[in-house]
Amino acid sequence: MELLSGGDIVVRALKDAGVKHIWGYPGGAALHIYDALFKQQDVQHILVRHEQAAVHAADGHSRSTGEVGAVLVTSGPGATNAITGIATAYMDSIPMVVISGQVPREKIGGDAFQETDMVGISRPIVKHSFLVTDAKDIASVIAKAFYIAGTGRPGPVVVDIPKDVTDPNHRVPYEYPEKIKIRSYQPTTKGHSGQIKRAIKTLLAAKRPVIYSGGGVVLGEASSQLTELAKLLNVPVTNTLMGLGAYPGTDRQFLGMLGMHGTYEANAAMHHADVILAVGARFDDRVTNTPNKFCPSAKIIHIDVDPTSISKTVAIDIPIVGPCDAVLQEMIAQVERSSSQLDETAIAEWWTQIDEWRDRHGIYSKPRHAPSEGNIIKPQDVIKTLFKVTNGDAYVTSDVGQHQMFAAQYYLFDKPRRWINSGGLGTMGFGLPAAMGVQLAHPDAAVACVTGEGSIQMCIQELSTCTQYGLPVKIINLNNQALGMVRQWQDMQYSSRYSSSLYEDSLPDFVKLAESYGHVGIRVTHFDELEEKMAECFSLKDRVVFMDICVDRSEHVYPMHVAPGSMRDMWLSKTERT
């Protein structure tokens, strides 16, 4: 057997786990590993400018490919800087392995220089974590980490490695396990067939059914099965913020996103449904509005790979624990075999009702916001223009705020893994580094980062990483000169007292800022020039382009749930309520 040092083993095991790119930042406790990286070509390290960005980039890689992301940071501040990224990945169940350097074993617990209890600090925000105490365990721990991160309900796994364990002068036999078996971890591989039978019976008896699907369908690669089942039954589909793209956004059966900023038709359909088929969704508070007013007449079927998601906030009538793809496949087979069918007249009436809702309050049947004109550019129109210029086929990452909701509402994703945003944690600063991860994984694709002047400044330093590695992302900055979403809440709930949501003329000139990193900056102040400049932006295929678009600051995101309330209780504009 080959003898390798701990540092070399880390890198070799990463390679054997299938890693081609690892995002990170060096420091004392990780230097043996960095030296091992230097000596080989198989695993490319990408040096970010802040560890948070390394984690978001690996996260973007994972969300856009389905692969397990990889991150390397040093101990202490390197590890703590990674925490926001890890929490972001955890909340959205994104598979990744974060390797952190640690102080040497004999120094652990002694408040050594750059010592932080990484396993302790990260514990509530990881799927699992390891502290490696022996060089001969490194390979098997890394193999287990990748296996745990990527199977069942995915999530981030931390591997903390003390510096002396990676000592270049201490060699041990290297062996990467071919198969992994963990006696205490056996993710479910199929759903209970009796439950599936019950679910089909309930579903086929429905008169007003809705499919409510979430990020689990994207993560579980179940998008084609979901689409097939919905088509087979001619049932309406709504997606959560995390599920966008899992069902084609431009399809007639798609009602749009549901929840706090969902469409009226999606939320009304949920409210009036008699049967809801929830797939890979978790009844988040941004979806349900007030839980005890949630969908009063619905029987709920819930498919999820994670049993803890079931009946967590809303009681479920028919739970099915299992991977979404396998369960949906079985459901399709049972529907095809079934002697009973949905009541066609009832379904036709249901569609008539839904079309009436679409017509009355829907944001797609006609614009509900005032038109853009002259130097008033409505943020919604920026997203519509982005959709048009990129033929609806870009990878779109987003930051957090109004721009995120506008992107979710107006960019209609037809494919999964195209819409990449921090839904669970809502992390400002996610967009740019995530876009870098997407771009590196898809070098020829158009990658747009929809952001706001607030969010972009939380990881703006990554413009430098884009320069170093030639990552030609397109930054679409919806510059409303305000922490817009905060401002919106202050308008609605605090009589427009803008406590710390404005910058008082302190914003940088983003065009010059982009140029100083060697990128192209384009400012848009008039609606007439928007489309043309956006087209120019995307024609510069190998350049980073920072589009600074001055949008109407007074615009609010609508529809919006009225809280507390039921799904259908919504503000439709500043003055209009359902």
Partner 1 sequence: MRRIISVLMENEPGSLSRVVGLFSQRGYNIDTLTVAPTEDQTLSRLTMTTHGNDQVIEQITKHLNKLIDVVKVVDLTEGPHIERELMLLKVRASDAQRAEIKRCVDIFRGQIIDVNTNAYTVQIVGNSDKLDAFIQAVGDADILELVRSGVSGLARGEKSLRL
Ligand X SMILES: Cc1ncc(C[n+]2csc(CCOP(=O)(O)OP(=O)(O)O)c2C)c(N)n1
Give me the active site residues, please: 51, 113-114, 163, 485
| 478 lies in the binding site for ligand X (CB under 6 A) | yes
Binding of partner 1 by 131 (CB under 8 A)? yes
Select 74 or 129, whichever has its Cβ closest to partner 1. 129
Q: Would you say 6 or 484 has its CB closer to ligand X? A: 484
Asked if 431 interacts with Mg ion (CB under 5 A), we say: no
Asked whether position 308 contacts partner 1 by CB under 8 A, the answer is: yes
* Segment contacting partner 1 by CB under 8 A, of 62-70, 306-314, 390-398, 489-497: 306-314
Is 362 a binding residue for Mg ion by CB under 5 A? The answer is no
- Smallest CA-to-CA distance from 296 within 259, 277, 271, 318 is with 271
The 3-class secondary structure across 184-218, one letter per residue, is CCCCCCCCCHHHHHHHHHHHHCCCCEEEEECHHHH
Residues 22, 27, 33, 34: what is their CA dihedral angle, to the nearest 10 degrees? 70
467 binds partner 1 (CB under 8 A): no
312 binds partner 1, rule: CB under 8 A: yes
Near partner 1 by CB under 8 A, which window of 74-82, 122-130, 332-340, 365-373? 122-130
Can you tell me which of 69, 150, 256, 454 binds Mg ion, judged by CB under 5 A? 454
- Smaller CB distance to ligand X: residue 187 or 426? 426
Sole window of 126-134, 236-244, 280-288, 528-536 interacting with partner 1 (rule: CB under 8 A)? 126-134
Q: Which of residues 176-215 bind partner 1 (CB under 8 A)?
A: 182-185
Q: What are phi and psi of 344, to 5 degrees?
A: -60, -40
452 binds ligand X (CB under 6 A): yes
Our CB check for ligand X shows the closer of 416 and 484 to be 484
- Whether 323 and 188 have beta carbons less than 8 Å apart is answered as yes
Site for partner 1 in 92-121 (CB under 8 A): 119-120
Asked if 12 is part of the footprint of partner 1 (rule: CB under 8 A), the reply reads: no
**Chosen from Mg ion, ligand X, partner 1, none, partner binding at 311 (C-beta under 5 to 8 Å by type):** partner 1
Written as six digits, the tokens of 9 are 């083993």
Q: Shortest CA distance to 274 belongs to which of 346, 192, 224, 322?
A: 346
- The residue range among 42-50, 308-316, 503-511, 515-523 that interacts with partner 1, by the rule CB under 8 A, is 308-316
Q: Which does 399 bind (CB under 5 to 8 A by kind): Mg ion, ligand X, partner 1, none?
A: ligand X
Rounded Cα distance between 15 and 38, Å, is 14
3-state SS class at 1: coil
Task: Please tell me what DSSP assigns to residue 462.
Answer: G
| For partner 1, the closer CB: 170 or 312 | 312
With CA atoms as reference, report the closest residue to 91 among 394, 409, 402, 430.
Answer: 430
- Asked if 454 interacts with ligand X (CB under 6 A), we say yes
Q: Give, for 226, the enclosing helix (H) or strand (E).
A: helix 223-233
CB count within 10 Å of CB 107 equals 16
Q: Is 455 in the site for ligand X (CB under 6 A)?
A: yes
Q: How far is the CB of 307 from partner 1 (least distance, A)?
A: 5
Q: Which residues contact 529 (CB under 8 A, 6 or more apart)?
A: none
Specify the residue, 152 or 236, whose C-beta has the smaller distance to partner 1: 152
Residue indicated by tokens 């199977």: 151
- Contacting residue, 257, 428, 440, 460, with ligand X by CB under 6 A: 428
Residue 298 or 524 having the CB closest to Mg ion? 524
Of positions 78, 95, 416, 452, contacts Mg ion by CB under 5 A? 452
**What distance in Å separates the CA atoms of residue 486 and residue 502, rounded to the nearest whole number?**
10
**Least distance in angstroms from the C-beta of 399 to Mg ion:** 9
Closest to Mg ion by CB, 209 vs 454, is 454
Under 8 Å between Cβ of 253 and 236: yes
- Residues 353-412 binding ligand X (CB under 6 A) are 399-403
Sheet of 21-24, strands arranged across: 44-47, 21-24, 69-73, 96-102, 156-162, 128-131
Q: Which two tokens stand for residue 1?
A: 């057997």
- Least CB distance to partner 1 at residue 212 (A): 21
Which one of 263-271, 303-311, 442-450, 493-501 is the stretch in contact with partner 1 (CB under 8 A)? 303-311
Alpha-carbon distance of 51 to 55, in angstroms, equals 7
Identified binder of partner 1 from the candidate list 167, 175, 221, 306, rule CB under 8 A: 306
Distance CA 358, CA 161 (A): 55
How far lies 289's CA from each of 261, 313, 325, 577, in Å?
11, 11, 28, 15
Taking CB under 8 A as the rule, does residue 307 contact partner 1? yes
Beta bridge partners of 450: 398, 476
User: Does residue 490 interact with Mg ion by CB under 5 A?
Assistant: no
Q: How far is the CB of 501 from Mg ion (least distance, A)?
A: 9
572 burial class (0-12, 13-18, 19+ CB within 10 angstroms)?
Answer: middle
Residue 232 binds which of partner 1, ligand X, Mg ion, none (CB < 5-8 A, kind-dependent): none
Select the residue interacting with partner 1 from 15, 20, 107, 128 (CB under 8 A).
128
Q: Does 48 bind ligand X (CB under 6 A)?
A: no
Report the residue from 88, 480, 490, 566 that binds Mg ion according to the rule CB under 5 A. Answer: 480
- With residue 466 as reference, give the H or E element that holds it: helix 463-469
Token pair of 47, please?
A: 């040096």
**Residues pairing with 99 in the sheet:** 72, 159
By the rule CB under 8 A, 123 interacts with partner 1: yes
Q: Is 13 in the site for partner 1 (CB under 8 A)?
A: no
DSSP secondary structure, 237-289, as one string:
EEE-GGGTTSS-TTSTTEEEE-STT--HHHHHHHHH-SEEEEES----HHHHS
- Positions in the binding site for Mg ion (CB under 5 A): 452, 454, 480, 484
- Positions in the binding site for ligand X (CB under 6 A): 399-403, 426-429, 452-455, 478, 480, 482-486
- Positions in the binding site for partner 1 (CB under 8 A): 119-120, 123-124, 127-129, 131, 148, 182-185, 306-308, 311-312, 315
